[in-house]
Structure formats: structure tokens, C-alpha cells
Amino acid sequence: MKSIALIPAYEPDETMLHIVEELFEEGFSIVIVNDGSSQSTARIFDSASEMSTVLAHPENRGKGAALKTGIRFLLENVPEEDWSETILVTVDADGQHRTPDVLATAREAGKQPGSLVLGSRHFTGSVPLRSRFGNSLTRSVFHLAARKKLTDTQTGLRACTLDLGPRLLSIEGERYEYEMNMLLAFAREHVPIVEVPIETVYLAGNASSHFRAVQDSLRIYRDILKLTLPDSISSFFRRLHASLRIYRDILKFALSSLAGFLADFALFSLISSLTAGLGPPSIALSNILARVASASLNFSLNRKLVFKSRDPLLPAALKYALLAGTILIGNTLLLGFLTNVLGLHRLFAKLLTEVTFFTLSWLVQKYLIFRIHQPRHAAPTAA
């Protein structure tokens, strides 16, 4: 059988070159996915490309995305009739997987085609506390969710025949949660999961790891709940999460609007007091001057902090100016009607007017001016 090593790499050091050299000498074909590493690592990838195929993401997308890019590349370049005779082995770039262990994992996958083989550590010897605790917790959660015991649910050393590739591509997850989702999916579908004992290696206290203890752990446990809860409960939590996101965005927009409102209200109060001798025109003049100043502040806050828009500044500013002008006209007309026709106190009338136009402004800015585009990942390039 042919064996192919797939190495996802983000900011690798010389260690990755040693891994590539050893696997190359053992007869592996090697595919490396540069997951948006900085230019300082270009020399390492250039050297590795002499013994491997190097694919590249223009920006960091996560380990799961890098693995999927490599798998997709192999499915497109290995004839389908050869998939069942091709062993795919995923290997970390930080030196945690010794070549003899990679070989043993690949051999076991060759003996058990259609199975997922894990190179499982037993966490003996000097193991960083966060790694020991994290693996213990994740093992327990996986056991409860999948009703299957595994020694090491976080190992990156995994092997299978390439005919499992299409299923691997369909599994959710872009970052470290992808590896847990893989185990959950295979356990649920009764795909055999086999463990091969390997050496436990942590270099320099696992300092080279890019695993973010809080963010990535939350992604893992969130997906465990999503994949294991009944559909009705899972659907409820998805709706709840979507609702919370909307409320969060509205809260940020409200805080931005509050900042603009306070500036507007303060300026309106000051200018209307100074120009009270002008009679009715004082209200319109004060409102216009206050709105111009507060609108500039509100635009900056919404663009940078609320909607985090990456659209060009000028088109967004022009659309916002059109909205602000429209709202200014409506705002001024309504304010004048409330004060001059209905006889409401000018400050109370101002409050009612702002509340009225808040919803209109939110909808137009969210869906027309600072609309959030779905990210379009550029296709990986081969170096």
C-alpha cells in the first residue's frame, strides 16, 4: 500500500523539516498545508517543498480547515480506484509524533481498511498539567457523549484508507474541534476506531502548541453538545445562540447610538439654550447642528466596533450620509410637529423622536450599509 503523510502547519520551526526528512526516507509521499504562516517561515516551507507538496492558505483558517484542504487535494489527485489501497496519515508539525509511531499507525490502518486508527498516548512521564487535565476531561466528555472509551481523544496522529476521505470532508469544524467531531461522527456511524499505543512527547512543555485553552475547548464542547443532543434540543440551542447573537449586536448598536445620542442631546440642549431668542427656528437649527456632530461620531463607532465593516470607507460614508440626511429630515419634521403642533416639551419630544428612528437606523445600517458578507476563502495554492 502507498502511504501519504498529511501535515497541517502553522508557524513551524526546524522540527518540521526533520519530520519531513525522516518520513521521506521511509518512503512516504508528503503533503503539507501552510495554514497562513508568516513570511518568516517561508524558508522552512521552501526547504520542505523539495521533498513534499506544499499547499498554502493565504490566511490562518485552523487545523480542521488545513486537514480538509489536504484531503481534498488528495482526493482530486489520487485515482479513485486507488483510494482503498492508499493510507492517509495525519502528522503534527511540532515533533510530538515519532517516525516509528507514524509507521506503526500506518501499518495498522493497512491491516484494517475502513477503520480510523489513532496513535494514542498514555500520558506517562513529564506531561504539562494543562495537557494532562485537558485530555482527561475531553476523554470523559467523549465517553459520556459517544458511550465509547478512548485513551487519547486529542491525538493528531491518525490514519485511515483514503476511501474515508469524502466522509472526512463532510464533517463540521474548521479548527481543533474538527478532530473531536471526527471521533463523534465515526462512533455514531459505527466506523471502527482502533488505538495504537505511541510515545508521549511534549517538547519544551508543549510551548509550540497553537491550541487556545479557552476558545478551542469551548468550540470542542459546544460541538459535542450540538452533535449528541436530540435534534429538538439541539435546534433549540441553535435558535437560542442565533437570538443571543442578534441581541448582542443590537446591544452594541444601542450603546453606540447612546454615545451618539448623548453627544446629540448635550449639543442640542446647549445650542437651543443659546439660540432661544430666535423663536421656532431655534429648534430646527439646534437639531441640525447637533445631528451633524453626533452622526460623525456614530458612523465611526458603528463601522469599526459594531458591524466591523471591511468595506471601503467612502461608499459606506456616502450611504451613511444619505441615511443620516433622510433621518435628519424625518427627525426634524417629527420633532417640530411634536413641539410646535402638539406642544410637547422640547426635551421629551426629542426623546420620542430618537426612539422612533432607532429601529429604522438599525435595520438600514445592518442590512444595507454595513452588511456582513460571508467569508469566501481563497483556494489554496501549491508552492
Q: pLDDT tens digits for 262-305?
A: 888 888 888 888 888 888 788 888 888 887 888 788 788 877 77
pLDDT at 243: 59
H or E element in which residue 291 lies? helix 281-301
CB 105 within 8 A of CB 159: yes
The pLDDT > 70 percentage for the chain reads 78
Under 8 Å between Cβ of 184 and 87: no
Q: Per DSSP, what are the bridge partners of residue 117?
A: 159, 194
Cβ pair 103, 17 in contact under 8 A: no
Give the pLDDT confidence score for residue 216 in this predicted structure.
46
pTM score, two decimals?
0.55
> Could you tell me which residue, 254 or 129, shows the higher pLDDT?
254
- Phi, psi (rounded to 5 degrees) for 72: -60, -40
The Cα 168–Cα 88 span in angstroms is: 11
Q: Is 185 helix (H, G, I), strand (E, B) or coil?
A: helix
Mean pLDDT of 90-105: 92
Q: What are phi and psi of 380, to 5 degrees?
A: -65, 150
Q: What is the mean pLDDT of residues 330-336?
A: 86
- φ/ψ region of 240 (left if φ > 0, alpha if ψ in -120 to 50, else beta) reads alpha
Average pLDDT, the chain: 81
Q: What are phi and psi of 177, to 5 degrees?
A: -65, -20
**Confidence (pLDDT) at 164:** 96
Q: Which one, of 96, 180, 172, 97, lies nearest residue 137 by Cα? A: 180
DSSP state of 340: I
Average pLDDT over residues 245-261: 74
158 versus 242: which is more confidently predicted?
158
The alpha-carbon radius of gyration of the chain (Å, integer) is 29
- Burial of residue 109, with CB atoms counted within 10 A of its CB: 0-12 exposed, 13-18 middle, 19 or more buried: buried
* Band of residue 230 on the pLDDT scale cut at 50, 70, 90: low
Query: Residue 221 has what pLDDT?
Result: 53
CA 259 vs. chain centroid, Å, equals: 30
* Structure confidence by residue, pLDDT tens digits, 120-150: 887 555 555 455 555 666 767 776 666 778 8
CB 53 within 8 A of CB 31: yes
- What's the pLDDT tens digit per position in 348-378? 888 888 778 777 777 788 777 776 544 444 4
C-alpha cell at 102: 507514524
Rounded CA separation 275/236 (Å): 56
The answer to whether the beta carbons of residues 152 and 118 sit under 8 Å apart is yes
Residue extents of the structural domains in the chain: 2-228, 236-369
**Residues 52-66: tens digit of each pLDDT:** 999 999 999 999 999
pLDDT, one tens digit per residue, over 15-47 is 999 999 999 999 999 999 999 999 999 999 999
Give the start-end residues of each E strand in 172-254: 193-197
Alpha-carbon distance of 272 to 261, in angstroms, equals: 16
Predicted pLDDT at 376:
46
Q: Strand 86-90 relative to strand 2-9: parallel, antiparallel, unpaired?
A: parallel
Is 213's pLDDT higher than 50? no
Contacts of 174 (CB under 8 A, 6+ apart): 61, 62, 64, 65
* 207 three-class SS: coil
Q: Would you tell me which CATH number, out of the four given (3.40.50.150, 3.90.550.10, 3.30.530.20, 3.10.105.10), belongs to the domain 2-228?
A: 3.90.550.10
C-alpha span between 45 and 299 (Å, rounded): 43
Indicate the residue type of 346. Answer: R
